[in-house]
Amino acid sequence: LTLVGELGQAIANGELVLHYQPKGSLSDGTVTAVEALVRWQHPKRGLLYPDAFLPAAEQTELIDELTRWVLASAGEALPALDPTGQLAVAINISARSLARADFTEDVLTVLAEHQVDPKRVILEITETSLMADPRRAARTLDELHQAGVRISIDDFGAGQTSLGYLATLPISELKIDKAFVLAMLSDERNAAIVRSVIELGHSLGFTVTAEGVETTEILQHLDAYRCDTVQGYLLARPIPSEALAAQLTAAV
Ligand code: G
Ligand code: G
Ligand code: MN
Ligand code: NA
């Protein structure tokens, strides 16, 4: 049996786990959201990261089951992560799931089943996923936005979205691809891209998040560039919900 062949059973057996990585506000240091990142606690192979099983899952309908599982689990974890009710949870959405005709209905049904307020949910969607069928994607994002779900464009700068198209979407956040952030101090062209994306995002009314923030020096530059939020190993690695809940409580 291939790894992906085992995945359906693994979901049913409760072998998937979510780790969470916070996004912190540069203006006041608060954690505004946590991103859920899926892992597979495989009984024989140990902890598997998404690269090991997501690309194969994305070729099949298993990805839709996985997406529903992630939404449900993150929704269930939210109250413990966030006693104050301010925190949002960010979920990564694969192109194949976004393309489904009943994607919005699926998302809203799972959230309702787990009593999750759609306003506390951010869906992270890559430019590539949007461009597979831009008109359908725009319709889906409008429906989700009307239900209160926030939309974030993930890995921004790495894809090929037209800016005219982007400006028509109900987007809350742009996440600058970590490749630009990681290389920002060693290559001025990357710093120029980071500054430009921040300015573009702000001009269009979006919040801008830099991911892949690993050093205080990069953090200080992003602050000077007026970036809104940061995510990366400097703040925290993706960790299990119990560990994150303890950190968030300690930080209050
Ligand atoms: O988790 P890692 O830290 O290794 O993430 C690797 C990649 O897997 C990232 O591109 C991330 O967006 C993606 N990823 C992580 N969790 C999920 C998930 O639950 N669903 C989807 N579709 N992608 C995910
Ligand atoms: O594609 P997406 O942005 O959803 O995936 C996030 C990926 O980035 C995950 O694999 C996560 O573990 C990783 N990541 C998070 N913070 C950092 C960081 O500071 N540096 C690097 N190199 N990777 C990071
Ligand atoms: Mn992401
Ligand atoms: Na990303």
Cα 206 to Cα 186: distance, rounded to the nearest angstrom: 27
- C-alpha dihedral over 110, 115, 121, 124, to 10 degrees? -20
**pLDDT band, residue 248 (cuts 50/70/90):** confident
Q: Which residues pair with 230 in a beta bridge?
A: 24, 210
- Check pocket membership of 54 for ligand 1, CB cut-off 6 A: yes
- Check pocket membership of 92 for ligand 1, CB cut-off 6 A: yes
**pLDDT band, residue 47 (cuts 50/70/90):** very high
**Burial zone of 27 (CB within 10 Å; 0-12 exposed, 13-18 middle, 19+ buried):** exposed
Q: pLDDT tens, 19-46? A: 999 999 999 999 999 999 999 999 999 9
Q: pLDDT tens, 89-126? A: 999 999 999 999 999 999 999 999 999 999 999 999 99
Question: Closest ligand 1 atom, CA of 58?
Answer: 22
Q: Which residues pair with 37 in a beta bridge?
A: 19
- Ligand 2, atom 23, lies closest to the CA of 212
Give residue 22's region: left, alpha or beta (phi > 0; psi -120 to 50). Answer: beta
- Ligand 1, atom 24, lies closest to the CA of 92
Q: Which residue pairs, CB below 8 angstroms and at least 24 apart, start in 109-115?
A: 110/68, 110/71, 110/72, 110/75, 111/71, 111/75, 113/72, 114/71, 114/72, 114/75, 114/76, 115/75
Cα 109 to Cα 137: distance, rounded to the nearest angstrom: 19
For residue 250, pLDDT over 90 is answered with no
Task: Report pLDDT for 1.
Answer: 67
**pLDDT band, residue 84 (cuts 50/70/90):** confident
**pLDDT band, residue 83 (cuts 50/70/90):** confident
- Ligand 1, atom 9, lies closest to the CA of 50
Higher confidence at residue 198 or residue 250? 198
Task: Report pLDDT for 182.
Answer: 98
- Check pocket membership of 38 for ligand 1, CB cut-off 6 A: yes
Give residue 46's region: left, alpha or beta (phi > 0; psi -120 to 50). Answer: left
CB-side neighbour CA atoms (13 Å) of 152: 27
Ligand nearest to the CA of 21: 2
Domains, the chain, ranges and CATH? 3-241 (3.20.20.450)
**Burial zone of 71 (CB within 10 Å; 0-12 exposed, 13-18 middle, 19+ buried):** buried
Ligand 2, pocket residues at CB < 6 Å? 21, 37, 92, 124, 154-155, 178, 211-214, 232-233, 238
For residue 251, pLDDT over 80 is answered with no
- Check pocket membership of 49 for ligand 1, CB cut-off 6 A: yes
- Ligand 2, atom 18, lies closest to the CA of 212
Distance 92 CA to ligand 4 centre (A): 9
Task: Report pLDDT for 12.
Answer: 94
For residue 252, pLDDT over 60 is answered with no
**pLDDT band, residue 218 (cuts 50/70/90):** very high
Mutate to test the pocket of ligand 2, among 18, 20, 21 (most ligand atoms within 8 A of CB): 21
- Ligand 2, atom 15, lies closest to the CA of 232
Across 2-11, 31-40, 167-176, 221-230, least confident range: 2-11
Task: Report pLDDT for 249.
Answer: 76
Instruction: Look at residues 73, 83, 71, 67 and name the one whose alpha carbon lies nearest to residue 31.
Output: 83
Cα 27 to Cα 197: distance, rounded to the nearest angstrom: 18
50-57 helix and 62-81 helix, angle to the nearest 10 degrees: 130
**Strand, coil or helix: what is 238?**
coil
